[in-house]
Copies of this chain bind each other. A is one copy, B any other.
Amino acid sequence: EPGSVWLAGAGPGDPGLLTLLAAKALGEADAIVHDALVGGDILEAANPDALLVDMGKRAGHPSPKQEAINARLVELAREGRRVLRLKGGDPFVFGRGGEECLALAEAEIPFRVVPGVTAGIGGLAYAGIPVTHRGFGTTATFVTGHDKTGGLPADLDWDVLARMPGALVFYMALGTIGTIAERLEAAGKPPMTPVAIVSSASTEAQSVIETNLAHCARDVVRLQAKRPAIVVVGEVVRLRALIGAWQQTTGQNPFPTAVSA
């Protein structure tokens, strides 16, 4: 309905990982407010008559403040548009979607949340890494690599993180990976614990660095890891040798892809 907002996740990058609901909204919205993590190949599928509003960070310019995004969503909805707020990954996984919902609720704008595939699960899968695997720990822990200060969140207890049995998945952590590795090691995590850094997960530009806690900070610099990146720490990274290699060398496309073909 006009005057409402859909807050949808676009997935980690591959347009084929859009949900049916997100794809539908993309084709029907009057205004699409997206961030820098939503790729051009996804926006190509947008309703050609829609107003496209880029709320992403741009080189050399500070990113718009969350309040400005909230205000823009309210404004567009009040103009009677059918608004799609499209975010990379899932809106509720370190995506500040909750804040946008609260702003819409406060402004009495009807909204709906459409979840998406998050990079810390789906992006890793494209790199051949299962975020959980039987025998490799019964948990998966997602952590944001920076908070509002731009540094690591102050509420993180590294002794606790180091003792989680399953994978640790850090979002937006390329700038803080050295500190992450140092603190996990200091908390007793073995230096040889496998680490993977997956850049531009699930896109044609995807690249993966396999390393370990002791060397990951050096390797990020040496191999010039690109943003956006997901950092995963844990034994599940070892499965990439079996799952990722096989996935990549054979049978990538038993079916034609839906959008990107």
Q: A250-B110, A254-B1 are in contact. Are A115 and B25 (CB under 8 A)?
A: no
**A130 to B115 alpha-carbon distance, docked (Å):** 10
Instruction: Name the residue on B nearest A83 (C-beta).
Output: B254
Q: What is the total number of residues of chain A having a CB less than 8 Å from a CB of chain B?
A: 88
Chain A 141-163 interface residues, beta-carbon cutoff 8 Å to B:
141-144, 147-148, 153, 155-157, 160, 163
Q: A18-B19, A20-B23 are in contact. List 20 more A-B contacts (CB 8 A).
A: A1-B253, A15-B20, A16-B21, A17-B19, A19-B117, A20-B259, A25-B255, A91-B130, A92-B125, A93-B121, A93-B132, A94-B132, A99-B133, A101-B242, A105-B243, A112-B253, A117-B117, A140-B141, A153-B165, A160-B163
24 chain-A/chain-B pairs, Cβ below 8 angstroms? A1-B251, A5-B254, A11-B19, A15-B20, A19-B20, A23-B258, A28-B255, A91-B130, A93-B140, A99-B134, A102-B239, A109-B251, A110-B246, A112-B254, A113-B243, A115-B122, A115-B126, A116-B122, A118-B121, A134-B148, A138-B143, A139-B143, A141-B142, A153-B165
